[in-house]
């Protein structure tokens, strides 16, 4: 009974952005935490909404609603700590296999939430919140796609805090789409096969505008990644928490940050080594490609200075190719969202 009353109260407040007063205990904890490095980007696998519903004798849909509430709270906690980017796993491509009722319920929740977003433009702009939706959006019902496009276009100029919502997403599907993009680039002659690198693939992922997550938090006691940001979290600090997502508390978040700080040195070293290796491989590749070009010009004698300038020249050209390729990719993605948003306007115009 009381659970239902709580839900009715929450319904009124279920906004994306909120600012509540903090207690002195929390302020003190934050100051202690800020003695060490604080993650800039945290990813959440918000697992356990349905089990929470069962445990508290609620409808499954109510579990998801409580989950959304917890998300809004968690965003506030993150913002207070200085964590300005959050990525969440809202709906996996695997979830389409659930019962039709549940999938429809989740799509309906998405429609409502994204629609509410449009009403909160002032609040979102005030807090500088940018919302991005990452996934294979073509798999979603058309009207949800339109709602998503509007939400993304509405907030895309904000830059203070970023929320990435992974919807109709799996990591393998994302990596696959990046591979298709580069294959398309090579096929069209925009880039060469040898231009494909770790850096380039990363720039083709849905998360290309974001740095990799510093920390990944998964609730409900599961110890796996379940096809979420596999590429991006390979150097992230992993925090597996026992509680169900709606029971996630600020103390769990603080504990996660402490864990991140303990692992900071070891992880930063690994990331640095990886970047050095990337650079080395790129230089090696540029050298080999430049030499190949020289050989093809059938020059027999080349001085050191010739080689050096040749490699520099090749590097510059490669960077130009890549820039053109990525700009084109960006254009196509923006067009996708703009077209969807125009669909809405056309529908609205037709209705009047």
Q: How far apart are CA 253 and CA 134, in angstroms?
A: 24
The pair of structure tokens assigned to 287 is 């050298």
The pair of structure tokens assigned to 160 is 């203070």
Identify the H or E element spanning 178. Answer: helix 171-187
Name which of 45, 154, 150, 167 is nearest 110 in CA terms.
167
Q: Which is nearer to other proteins, 73 or 259 (CB)?
A: 259
Least Å distance between CB 255 and other proteins? 7
Q: Which is nearer to other proteins, 98 or 317 (CB)?
A: 98
Least Å distance between CB 278 and other proteins? 9
Least Å distance between CB 38 and other proteins? 12
Strand partners, 243: none
Least Å distance between CB 259 and other proteins? 6
Least Å distance between CB 14 and other proteins? 25
Helices (H) and strands (E) in the chain, counts: 11, 6
Q: Which is nearer to other proteins, 54 or 115 (CB)?
A: 54
Name which of 274, 248, 317, 342 is nearest 42 in CA terms.
248
Q: What are the φ/ψ torsions at residue 26 (nearest 5 degrees)?
A: -65, -40
List of E strands, the chain: 41-45, 85-92, 129-134, 161-169, 215-218, 237-240
Q: Which residues bind other proteins (CB under 8 A)?
A: 31-33, 35-36, 50-51, 54, 92, 94-95, 97-99, 170-173, 175-176, 178-180, 182-187, 193-194, 196-198, 201, 222-227, 230-231, 233-240, 255, 258-259, 261-263, 266-267, 270, 273-274, 277, 281
Least Å distance between CB 184 and other proteins? 6
Q: Which is nearer to other proteins, 12 or 97 (CB)?
A: 97
Q: What are the φ/ψ torsions at residue 169 (nearest 5 degrees)?
A: -125, 140
| Residues 303/307/310/312 CA torsion (nearest 10 deg) | -130
| Residues 271/237/207/64 CA torsion (nearest 10 deg) | 180
**Residue 231: HSE in the Cβ half-sphere, 13 Å Cα cutoff:** 22
Contact 286, 311 (CB under 8 A): yes
Give the number of other CB atoms < 10 A from CB of residue 296.
8
Least Å distance between CB 173 and other proteins? 6
Least Å distance between CB 329 and other proteins? 14
Coil, helix or strand for 167? Answer: strand
Least Å distance between CB 138 and other proteins? 13
Q: Which is nearer to other proteins, 16 or 228 (CB)?
A: 228
Q: DSSP string of 130-141?
A: EEEEES-GGGS-
């Amino acid at each position: 009974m009381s659970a239902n009353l709580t839900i009715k109260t929450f319904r009124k407040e279920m906004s994306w952005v909120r600012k509540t007063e903090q207690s002195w205990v929390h302020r003190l904890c934050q100051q202690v935490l800020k003695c060490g490095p604080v993650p800039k980007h945290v990813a959440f696998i918000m697992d356990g909404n349905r089990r929470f519903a069962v445990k508290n004798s609620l409808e499954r849909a109510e579990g998801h609603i409580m989950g959304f509430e917890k998300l809004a709270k968690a965003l506030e906690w993150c913002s207070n700590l200085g964590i300005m980017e959050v990525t969440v796993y809202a709906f996996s491509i695997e979830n389409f296999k659930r019962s039709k009722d549940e999938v429809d319920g989740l799509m309906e929740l998405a429609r409502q939430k994204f629609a509410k977003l449009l009403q909160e433009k002032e609040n979102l702009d005030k807090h500088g919140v940018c919302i991005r939706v990452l996934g294979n959006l073509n798999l979603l019902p058309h009207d949800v796609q339109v709602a998503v496009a509007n939400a993304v276009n509405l907030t895309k100029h904000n830059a203070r805090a970023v929320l990435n919502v992974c919807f109709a997403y799996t990591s393998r599907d994302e990596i696959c789409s990046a591979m298709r993009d580069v294959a398309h680039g090579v096929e069209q002659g925009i880039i060469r096969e040898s231009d494909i690198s770790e850096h380039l693939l990363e720039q083709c992922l849905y998360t290309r505008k974001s740095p990799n997550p510093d920390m990944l938090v998964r609730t409900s006691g599961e110890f796996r990644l379940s096809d979420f940001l596999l590429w991006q979290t390979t150097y992230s600090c992993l925090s597996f928490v026992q509680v169900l997502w709606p029971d996630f508390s600020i103390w769990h978040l603080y504990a996660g940050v402490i864990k991140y700080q303990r692992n900071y040195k070891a992880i930063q070293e690994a990331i640095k080594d990886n970047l050095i290796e990337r650079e080395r491989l790129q230089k090696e590749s540029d050298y080999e490609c430049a030499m190949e070009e020289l050989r093809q010009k059938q020059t027999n004698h080349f001085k050191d200075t010739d080689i050096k300038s040749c490699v520099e020249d090749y590097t510059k050209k490669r960077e130009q190719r890549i820039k053109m390729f990525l700009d084109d990719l960006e254009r196509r993605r923006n067009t996708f969202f703009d077209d969807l948003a125009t669909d809405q306007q056309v529908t609205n115009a037709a209705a009047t």
